[in-house]
Amino acid sequence: MSRITRTKIIATVGPASSSKAMLKKLMQAGVNTFRLNFSHGTHEQHKEVIDSIHELNEDLKTHVGILADLQGPKIRIGEVLNDEADLRNESELLLTTNKIISDSKKIFVNYKKFAAEVKQNDSILIDDGQIELKVISTNKKDTVKCVVVNGGIISSRKGVNLPHTDISLPSLTKKDLEDLDFALKQNVNWIALSFVRSANDIHQLKKIISRSQKNTKVIAKIEKPQAVKNISEIIMASDAVMIARGDLGVEMPQQDIPISQKTIITKCIQHSKPVIIATQIMQSMVENPRPTRAEINDVANGIFDGADALMLSAETATGNFPVRVIETIKDIALTIEKQESIYNKKQVPDINSKTYLSDAICYNACKIADDVNAAAIISMTRSGYTGFMISSYRPQSRILVFMEDTQLLSTLSFVWGVETFEYRKFVSTDETIEDVKDIALEFGRVKKGDIVINTAAMPVHWKGTTNMLKISVVD
């Protein structure tokens, strides 16, 4: 009970964590959602993991979610001769879209429109910014002449970033579409779209999901300067946002990342959209059993800022201490969550919103809960909408969501503060309110004498707008 945190944890599955036994340990340690990285692994390997998570959810009576992270349109260099080329500072280098074996004089880039879209003086970053080139000229067809600004040893198939270039790559590649089709058939809860540039990228993905008649939610990964520029429209179009600090830190000045992170989190909370902080959360724990002081502060600041979830990548995918890193984040979260400043965000529902009635109920549930020191806000919902909305107000009371759709319960798994319960009775409103209070009592979420706030749609079996708020005492 005392180990439940408001801030959620997303763990990437990889060689260190793909066995059913390790997945179980991670779930028991506190993982709320598992991320499958489609840049790696086969469909068969991902299916085995998905099946294991579904089986463990059945066995453990949990609702741990599954996030499928699409690779996206990544530009890469090709094969390097002997897998090593020494690029010297101030030397000239040709980049070509004609397939060759690359060396220190000429390198193949796998994007056909590369020469047509880069401009003189544009920066080209290779290998997460370890190598920096500057464009001298381009023939606009197949060859770009560059000068090496920051050189070094380069190896095959490293990624290429173009921070100041507007590229016309499609947001979904052929591989992404195949991975998306697979993920939807496996009933994953979330699809993360990489290298989002505008709301249109999200709209395209949602159209495909809609045609599949799935209710899978979409996460916009913010990892390009264009996405930061268009952040308001992207937040509105998405179901959640991930601040992917890896590529973002390569494509924009690193000193701007903390400000962007805080701004994006604030905007997401204002629009009731879950927000994830990702990349190098506990990077040192890939090799070491203890985090650095800087990593502890980074996690703490993310929680203070109001992030719904922290996402681990190599730490759980390939690291030596996957369970320990989960326990470490939980320890930090439990300590920070004792601070009152992270609760009760100062925002009010938008009177012009189409969902204003429901939003006002959720807002007042949180306000009354704070006024009367309620132990819990209990939401009985069909769509899960009130779970997202109540969470965005960051109440100090527990948020207990009861619904019959287990798929949606798992979707809510990384939403801040939300604790989920499968519930199928929904008879009369009064009976249901008493029943869910008894279940909350049975699971130790409340105790006798506690004040609770209930929200629901009336009549309770109606799949409509949340229109009821009731204050009661657990007896």
Q: Following DSSP, what letter does each residue of 211-246 receive, concatenated?
A: HTT---EEEEEE-SHHHHHTHHHHHHH-SEEEEEHH
Say what the pLDDT of residue 425 is: 83
Same domain, yes or no: 202 and 295: yes
What CATH number does residue 28 fall under?
3.20.20.60
Contact, 162 vs 122, CB < 8 A?
yes
According to the model, what pLDDT value does residue 458 have?
A: 79
Q: Are residues 226 and 87 in the same domain?
A: no
Using alpha carbons only, give the angle 364, 307, 9 rounded to the nearest 5 degrees.
115
| 351 in a structural domain | no
- At 467 the pLDDT is 86
| pLDDT recorded at residue 164 | 83
Distances (CA, A) of 84 to 18, 80, 91, 104, 107: 32, 6, 17, 9, 12
Give the Cα separation of 268 and 261 in Å (integer). Answer: 11
For the chain, what is the domain count?
A: 3
What's residue 2's pLDDT?
A: 45
Q: Domain for residue 3, yes or no? A: no
Note the pLDDT of residue 68: 99
Select from 306, 338, 370 the last residue of a domain.
338
| Percent of the chain predicted with pLDDT > 90 | 88
| 8-state DSSP, 69 | E
Q: Which of 244, 162, 234 is nearest to 201 (CA)?
A: 234
Instruction: Show the domain range for 450.
Output: 356-473
What is the pTM for the complete model shown? 0.93
Query: Domain holding 92: CATH number?
Result: 2.40.33.10
Same domain assignment for residues 183 and 326 = yes
3-class state of residue 68 by DSSP: strand
Dist CA 14 CA 413 (whole Å):
20
Instruction: Provide the pLDDT for residue 462.
Output: 61
Low-confidence ranges of the chain (pLDDT < 70): 1-2, 460-464
Residues 135, 202, single domain; the answer is no
Instruction: Specify whether 29 is located in the same domain as 86.
Output: no
Q: Is 200 exposed, middle or buried (0-12, 13-18, 19+ CB in 10 A)?
A: middle
46 and 85 share one domain: no
Start-to-end CA span in the chain (Å): 20
